[in-house]
Structure 1
Amino acid sequence: MRLTSRLIFICSIFLGSCSSERNTFTNRAFHNLTSHYNAYYLADVKINEVLKEVKSNYKEDYTQVLPVFIPIDSATIQSSNEKLESARELASKAIEWHRISKWVDDSYYLIGKVDYLEAQSDDAKNAFKYVNVKSKDRDLRHKALINLLRLYVDLNQFEDANFTIDYLSKESKINEENRYELYRTLAYYYEKRRDRSGVIGALDKATEYAQDKKETSRINFILAQLYQREGLDALAFDYYKKAQEGNPPYERSFFAQLYAQQVAELNASKDLRKVRNYYESLYADQKNKDLKDVVVYERALFEEKQGDIPLTVSLLHQAAKEPGSNPRLKGYIYQKLADINFNEFKDYRATKYYLDSALTFIKASDPSAAQIAQQKETLDQYVFHVERIQQNDSLLFLSSLSKEEQTAVANQFIKSEEERLLAEAKAKEKPKNSGIFDNLLAFADRGSGSSFYFDNAVAMQQGAITFYRTWGNRPLQDNWRRSAVNFQGNTGNNPQATVDSTATTDENNPLNQLPDIETLLAQIPQTAEDRKSLNQELEESYFELGKVLYFDLKEIERSIDNLEVLVREYPNSSKKPEAYYLLYLAQKERGGNFQQYVGRLNREYPDSQYTYSVNNPEAASGNIAYLQSSKNYEQAYDLYYNGNFGESRRIIRSTLEEYPLTRNTERLLLLDIMISGKVESRERFKERLEAYIENTKDAGLVELARNMLKPLLPKEDLASLNQADSTALDSANLNLSLKDSVSTEKKLLDSPFKLDENQTHIMVLVMSPEEAEKAVGLVGELENFHAKNFSNSRLRTGNMNMNRENAIYIISPFTNAEKAKEYYLKFMENFESAKLSKELKDQAFFISIENFQILNRSKNLEEYRAFFEAYYQ
């Protein structure tokens, strides 16, 4: 009985301790033990397993500065979804089943980590904030705040990140583990802000608290890379040596050794043979078989510093072919080849194709990808027009030959293609093995020498080409005998049914790479319409190529050559006036005979805006010219409407001479043509309208001109229209579409603001102080928008109070008005935030720095908005 009583007593104690409501010593001990070593422990293990997978799946790119934190790969997280959800469930059980244990807050922290890894940012924020507010464990609170800081930096919410940094800086007794993570997270913050000095300072402090030797090695490697880029070679050398300590991975050790030699000896050494021997020894080392491309690439960069560009290019080509473990390096190799071809050889075609190759290896998320894509825009246009000119010129030349001559040219082309295929086969052929075993095989016609047909790539290629010459590009068939084919034909079976599809669809089959004569001859234009189409394309390409060469590539001589071809070969081109003007500018810039184009414009196109411009090269431009020409246009239009055509024309002509190239030029010209419809012949009016339609770029004005032209066309259904009425109707349309802005422009004649589109601009959001208080976090959302859409623009966001009525948010800088407008349009179309109402968003504007200083003094927002709408919108 006594034993039974004791057992009952003990069981009752344990049963009572299972309760999550009774806060007794026994209950707390039971729940602390169970929650820690069951739910919490298992959840923590699973999370760490996922983090290890993220780390092991990431491929370090040692040719670039390593990131402070290894990026979290969404694919790895997706594949580890079960582990993370299991960890979430376990941590949740620790909270629900053991509410009185001291591991509840730790479990909330683990749930925050799971949310963070699964990119559930809002939930992760809430979890970390909850731990910071509720937990009594100082170390856990610090850990949660550090993770919250990293999350803010991830999201580019730098305002919140700054607040968290400030809060942590005032905290005392942060343990060493948390200090290490804090300094690493600070380095990540500075990395995101592109502050290299800040990264160096934070990582240097992190090494003082690091416990893992491999992590210390990685940090030292990053510090060495940063010091090297700062030009501090001595410090870089010391840190590369430190990076080789702690048993790092072989690849990191290899790069640390390679870069240490570079900063210590290679850059400063005068013994070039010693340097080259060093690279050759690295290349020959079997341990580096997966890093041969790196060795050759670094050797190429060294030879570039010595000024040996041909050897540099040769080594870069070799590096592109060498095996390697980092595909991105191939992208950097092609990017380097592109730079050399652009800067050294001015070979823009090769540059474009090297950049194309670079983008196939460099990920879209890589910062250099956006830079390459931007550089490619001009080159793509250049190559398109160059290749179209070459192709169309060749086709037009061939079309002028007889059929026999065309066939001879096609045969010669096929022969050259055969020679190319043979040369490629020879280049791919492996060198002979001089070993005894191979010699024995060769003796028995089985070696890799030329005696064995199927081991000789050149012989096989030659055989395929000979077959093609004899039999044509016919499909391979299972039963190739002629008698069998005839039999199949007589029985009605299709011989193509026995085609060996694997042979005929093989992309490596040389027969598939050889064109046939019929295909080549079919490309040659046969009709006048075909030749006209090719000439129209040539006309466009010569003009566009001339513009690209002049404005974008600064190749004045080549621009002149292409534009001269245009005006010589296509004398009736609608692009001729602008081509003359570009030739005038180009010759003037190079000190050539630019006056000849002044004469040509005056003789051939006296009414062109370009003629007015060359006649008055010192004419005013910009804001003042636009305002004054607007005022003159209003006056000329009123005179036209009142029938005073002579005085109206006088004002138009004097305005075009004084302000030849403004946004008003084309409408002034159209008004002058409308006067022709009143005072000159029908043919003169028609002629001027047709020329205007061909040369004008404003689609709205072109449509008006076409409407005026309709009654002049020799079509029965248009003959009954009254010319005067039509002109009056379209003049009214011209007035409605253009004169509406005149009243605004009149108000702006005395505006303190000046239009300077080349000046640095900023974007401004204006709101009341009350609205600004509700917009807490808007800066972070703007930073996210910038990271997604303008990652390479280095935009900054801040806010200030303009006066008691207005607080403003400023996004800056934009190098000119065009860049600001690009941002403005993207912002208006894509930026969405609950903190910014549509009304406030619609009132956003951009402004030059000079005008902003004026606005900041005057505080007159409405005055500037009128200016903004008139000139930018």
Structure 2
Amino acid sequence: MADRLAPHFRRTALLITTTCLLAACSQFSSRPGATTFHNISARYNAYFMAEQDMMEAEFAMRKAFKEDYNQLLPILLPMDSLLSLPVKPQLQDAIKKASIVAEKHQNSKWLDNSYIILGKSRLYLGEWADGLEALRYVYANGRDENDKNNALILLMRAYIVRKDYSNALGVAEYLSQQPLNKSAVKDFYLTKAYLHQQNGEYLTSVAILEETFPLLKKSIETARIHFAAAQMYDRLGQYALANKHYRSVSKNRPDYDLGFYSSMNSLQNEVVLNPKKDLSSVGFDRMLRDRKNDDLKDRIYFTMGLLAEHRKQIPEAVAYLQKGAAASKGKNLEQKAYTYLQLARIHYESLENFEKSKAYYDSALAILPQQAPEYRLVADRKRALDSFVSQYTIVSTEDSLQKLARMNPAALDNKIDAIIEEKEKQRLAEEEKAKKALLAAQNANPQNNSPNLLSNGNERRWELYDPAQINQGKIEFKRTWGNRQLEDDWRRSSRPLRSIAGNNGNNAADSSASVAGTAASTGMKKGDPEWQEVHDLLKKNIPLTDQQFADSQKKKEDALYNLGKIYRFDLKESQRAIITFERVLADFPKTQYKDEIYYLLYLSYEDNNQNKSAWKDKLLSEYPTSTYARLVSKSTDAAGSANSGNPVKEYEAVYKLYTDGNFTKALEDIEQNLPAYKGSSMEDKFALLRVFLIGKVRGKEAYSQAITEFIRLYPSSIYLPRLKEMQELNSLSMGKR
């Protein structure tokens, strides 16, 4: 019996022993044996695998991140959920493994580290609430001070990505008072430099980086941080210090592109620092000949264009930039967009060729990524230039027509005939030149006789693949033909109607000449019916009668007034707005916009300019009862009160008066506050409420005038469609009355 019971007793004893051991190894036990068991299990199982997943994911994201060397390189890798999509499985696995530590190894010293990985993974995936909660948990409940500091550094980085700079600064202030180990000091410095970089505080950022570089090892990451520091020194105008860091890039194992762009920027700074330096000695020609730079020629030409512009060599700058645009290949579309932007700016500011500037803005906007920092500004400027070119064309057209109208009849007929004759010669010469070029191209490449293919090195592409050429072609077509319907014989329908519209106002004869290019390829001769048809149609468009001249003057007056407002509000060019408004007053002394122009001139001058008070006095003396006079007279008091307050709260207070029926008091308050918010995002909202209040207090006539003033002052407001509907309804009601 005893022999048979012995195995049973042994099994029972083993079970009891195992149970005791498991109880001793509980995750809630603080005994040395239990904590050692859970430390080893957590570190070399779940946490190890989570850490490996995170390292693989970050390596892949860093490799996939596309650097834009035209922009300021971020000091730290952005936490972008789109960037993390390819590595989502690794990040989710890291969350799963880190959660095991939290669930089964509560007494492990790796618990805080696992929560940090869990929080970091969720931040990369865009799960901000859960990620921030995990990091805050470590700070509140962590057992190791180093882990708590690491969690706070990561939390600070998350705040920066969310542009919550006030909370990020609060965390930074706390961390600056804590004792940090060497690794944490490096991470903290980099994160704080990143904070100031993203907040536009470049001087503070580079000062922190200067303290950080001794802590960094040689690596490509260190190289790109040197590049970011150099870029910030560039923006601060400290080109010698920038070059010091550009040179440090090559000492830290950069990839080819990073090394190339650092060399390019360094060469650019050398030329700026040494104005007498000969561009031919810089080495651009050698870089263009280097086959390794075949894909980077666009950037070389772009830099050459910038330097030529810096030296006021505008034609050379345009030529280099055009070569850069032509050299841009598939993967360099972003560089092509920046080249187009540079060309657009030069044509606008230096050459004042507004149509070409608009065409380049159109081309840049077509290929510029929507997430680019400049996209919204470029889109706004493109819309402004659309309106600007339209109004500018009207002014230049009417100027040209009026110059022709002032000529005596015989001289005018001779002028028109001379224009037609000269343009006919040019057209025939261009046709002959085009035929010869086509024949030469066919002889050079007999296997491909297509005239629409352009050669670009070894690459051939259709002409219509180039957005700049498309837009330029549209402009040239519209200049010659105007807006045409799709119909038979479209070239002969109202040919001269747009003949002068393509002119920029510099030469009336040139504008009229564009019509002559519509003739048949056989050519026209004076006395032919077709010649006389073109002559008569050109002459018909010239304002020869008093009424036609008055209509032309009215078009010119309205267009100049609109140009001034576009300069003032859309293009933010106060000086050009002042010149344009003063031209309206000089050319049209009885203009209907006089009181508003006085007000806009008052707004356009700086506060310390004596002309500001002069236009205010002129407005108050000539139009003392106008709306603009009331706005000006109250602007000083409003600037002192409302500017120091909250516009949202001010609006809510006035709107409450409106809803309570206290219309008179609400109107007084809004007319006092409105000038203080000139140029703010709330301005048109205040102005809209003012229109409603005027309708309640001052009657239909004043209400109609207020609507008209709103439409003039806020042409791009989101409330404009509503105001136009109100204007139509008000007109109908006044008509019935």
Query: Which one of the candidate residues 425, 440, 448 is aligned to 1:455?
Result: 448
The secondary structure found in structure 2 opposite 1:80 is helix
Query: Which one of the candidate residues 291, 296, 301 is aligned to 2:296?
Result: 291
Query: Is the 1:88–1:114 contact (alpha carbons within 8 Å) kept by the matching residues of 2?
Result: yes
- Correspondence for 2:570: none
Q: Given the alignment of the two structures, is residue 662 of structure 1 paired with residue 655 of structure 2, yes or no?
A: no
Q: State how far apart, in whole Å, the 1-side matches of 2:318 and 2:379 are.
A: 22
The secondary structure found in structure 2 opposite 1:156 is coil
The secondary structure found in structure 1 opposite 2:338 is helix
Q: Which amino acid aligns with 2:247?
A: K
The secondary structure found in structure 1 opposite 2:680 is helix
Q: State how far apart, in whole Å, the 1-side matches of 2:435 and 2:98 are.
A: 63
Query: Which one of the candidate residues 560, 576, 593 is aligned to 1:546?
Result: 560
Query: Which one of the candidate residues 198, 202, 227 is aligned to 2:208?
Result: 202
- With over 3 angstroms needed to count, the CA separation of the structure-2 counterparts of 1:230 and 1:659, relative to structure 1, is same
Query: Is the 1:289–1:323 contact (alpha carbons within 8 Å) kept by the matching residues of 2?
Result: no
Aligned CA-pair RMSD: 5.1
Query: Which one of the candidate residues 109, 116, 130 is aligned to 2:137?
Result: 130
Q: Which amino acid aligns with 2:50?
A: A
Query: Which one of the candidate residues 210, 217, 221 is aligned to 1:211?
Result: 217
Q: Given the alignment of the two structures, is residue 88 of structure 1 paired with residue 53 of structure 2, yes or no?
A: no
Alignment of 1:302-381 (within 5 A): 302-323=307-328, 325-381=331-387
Q: Which amino acid aligns with 1:238?
A: K
The secondary structure found in structure 2 opposite 1:208 is helix
Query: Which one of the candidate residues 246, 250, 259 is aligned to 1:244?
Result: 250
TM-score (norm 2): 0.62
Query: Is the 2:564–2:577 contact (alpha carbons within 8 Å) kept by the matching residues of 1?
Result: yes
Q: State how far apart, in whole Å, the 2-side matches of 1:157 and 1:69 are.
A: 16
- With over 3 angstroms needed to count, the CA separation of the structure-2 counterparts of 1:619 and 1:380, relative to structure 1, is closer
The secondary structure found in structure 2 opposite 1:820 is coil
Q: State how far apart, in whole Å, the 2-side matches of 1:381 and 1:758 are.
A: 35
Would you tell me which structure has more helix in proportion to its own residues?
Answer: 2
Q: Which amino acid aligns with 2:153?
A: I
The secondary structure found in structure 1 opposite 2:678 is helix
Alignment of 1:485-634 (within 5 A): 517-520=488-491, 542-551=556-565, 552=567, 554=576, 577-578=591-592, 620=617
5+ residue gaps, structure 2: 1-5, 405-419, 455-469, 478-483, 498-536, 543-547, 568-572, 602-613, 650-673, 690-737
- With over 3 angstroms needed to count, the CA separation of the structure-2 counterparts of 1:133 and 1:460, relative to structure 1, is closer
Q: CA deviation at 1:8?
A: 7.0
- With over 3 angstroms needed to count, the CA separation of the structure-2 counterparts of 1:288 and 1:540, relative to structure 1, is farther
- Correspondence for 1:60: 67
Query: Which one of the candidate residues 145, 149, 165 is aligned to 2:172?
Result: 165
TM-score (norm 1): 0.53
The secondary structure found in structure 2 opposite 1:542 is helix
Q: CA deviation at 1:657?
A: 5.3
- With over 3 angstroms needed to count, the CA separation of the structure-2 counterparts of 1:254 and 1:383, relative to structure 1, is same
- With over 3 angstroms needed to count, the CA separation of the structure-2 counterparts of 1:618 and 1:384, relative to structure 1, is closer
- Correspondence for 2:266: 260
- With over 3 angstroms needed to count, the CA separation of the structure-2 counterparts of 1:662 and 1:215, relative to structure 1, is same
Q: State how far apart, in whole Å, the 2-side matches of 1:196 and 1:416 are.
A: 56
Cα shift readout 1:487-540 (whole Å, capped 9, x = no counterpart): xxxxxxxxxxxxxxxxxxxx9xx9xx99764445567899xxxx9xx9999888
Query: Is the 1:293–1:323 contact (alpha carbons within 8 Å) kept by the matching residues of 2?
Result: yes
Q: Which amino acid aligns with 1:216?
A: T
Q: Which amino acid aligns with 1:457?
A: S
Q: CA deviation at 1:562?
A: 9.0
Q: State how far apart, in whole Å, the 2-side matches of 1:521 and 1:559 are.
A: 39
Q: State how far apart, in whole Å, the 2-side matches of 1:63 and 1:46 are.
A: 32
Q: State how far apart, in whole Å, the 1-side matches of 2:62 and 2:47 are.
A: 23
- With over 3 angstroms needed to count, the CA separation of the structure-2 counterparts of 1:48 and 1:522, relative to structure 1, is farther
- With over 3 angstroms needed to count, the CA separation of the structure-2 counterparts of 1:393 and 1:823, relative to structure 1, is closer
- Correspondence for 2:390: 384
Q: State how far apart, in whole Å, the 1-side matches of 2:45 and 2:554 are.
A: 75
Query: Is the 1:53–1:76 contact (alpha carbons within 8 Å) kept by the matching residues of 2?
Result: no
Q: CA deviation at 1:659?
A: 1.3
- With over 3 angstroms needed to count, the CA separation of the structure-2 counterparts of 1:816 and 1:621, relative to structure 1, is farther
Q: CA deviation at 1:386?
A: 4.6
Q: State how far apart, in whole Å, the 1-side matches of 2:585 and 2:560 are.
A: 6
Q: CA deviation at 1:158?
A: 3.1
Q: Which amino acid aligns with 2:146?
A: D
Q: CA deviation at 1:189?
A: 1.5
Q: State how far apart, in whole Å, the 1-side matches of 2:347 and 2:315 are.
A: 11
Query: Is the 1:304–1:312 contact (alpha carbons within 8 Å) kept by the matching residues of 2?
Result: yes
Q: CA deviation at 1:84?
A: 2.2
Q: CA deviation at 1:145?
A: 0.7
The secondary structure found in structure 2 opposite 1:151 is helix
Query: Is the 1:152–1:158 contact (alpha carbons within 8 Å) kept by the matching residues of 2?
Result: yes
Cα shift readout 1:134-174 (whole Å, capped 9, x = no counterpart): 112121111001111112223333332232122111111x1
Query: Which one of the candidate residues 663, 677, 693 is aligned to 1:817?
Result: 677
356-365 vs 103-112, greater mean Cα deviation = 356-365
Q: CA deviation at 1:35?
A: 1.8
Q: CA deviation at 1:360?
A: 2.8
Query: Is the 2:394–2:559 contact (alpha carbons within 8 Å) kept by the matching residues of 1?
Result: no
Query: Is the 2:398–2:556 contact (alpha carbons within 8 Å) kept by the matching residues of 1?
Result: no
Cα shift readout 1:166-190 (whole Å, capped 9, x = no counterpart): 2111111x11211111011111221
Q: CA deviation at 1:310?
A: 0.7
- With over 3 angstroms needed to count, the CA separation of the structure-2 counterparts of 1:618 and 1:204, relative to structure 1, is closer
Query: Which one of the candidate residues 234, 239, 254 is aligned to 2:240?
Result: 234
- Correspondence for 1:776: none
- With over 3 angstroms needed to count, the CA separation of the structure-2 counterparts of 1:346 and 1:30, relative to structure 1, is same
Alignment of 1:420-431 (within 5 A): 423=434
Query: Is the 1:186–1:199 contact (alpha carbons within 8 Å) kept by the matching residues of 2?
Result: yes
Q: CA deviation at 1:297?
A: 0.8
- Correspondence for 2:670: none
Query: Is the 1:188–1:199 contact (alpha carbons within 8 Å) kept by the matching residues of 2?
Result: yes
Q: CA deviation at 1:66?
A: 1.5
Q: State how far apart, in whole Å, the 2-side matches of 1:218 and 1:351 are.
A: 34
Q: CA deviation at 1:345?
A: 1.5
360-369 vs 332-341, greater mean Cα deviation = 360-369
Work out the percentage of aligned pairs sharing the same amino acid: 23
Q: State how far apart, in whole Å, the 2-side matches of 1:280 and 1:190 are.
A: 38
The secondary structure found in structure 2 opposite 1:70 is coil
Q: CA deviation at 1:317?
A: 0.7
Cα shift readout 1:359-413 (whole Å, capped 9, x = no counterpart): 2333334333333334344322122335578999999x9xxxxxxxxxxx9xx99
Q: Which amino acid aligns with 1:97?
A: K
Q: Which amino acid aligns with 1:301?
A: L
Query: Which one of the candidate residues 98, 119, 123 is aligned to 1:116?
Result: 123
- With over 3 angstroms needed to count, the CA separation of the structure-2 counterparts of 1:127 and 1:95, relative to structure 1, is same
The secondary structure found in structure 2 opposite 1:380 is helix
Larger Rg: 1
Q: State how far apart, in whole Å, the 2-side matches of 1:761 and 1:584 are.
A: 23
- With over 3 angstroms needed to count, the CA separation of the structure-2 counterparts of 1:420 and 1:142, relative to structure 1, is farther
Alignment of 1:163-202 (within 5 A): 163-172=170-179, 174-202=180-208
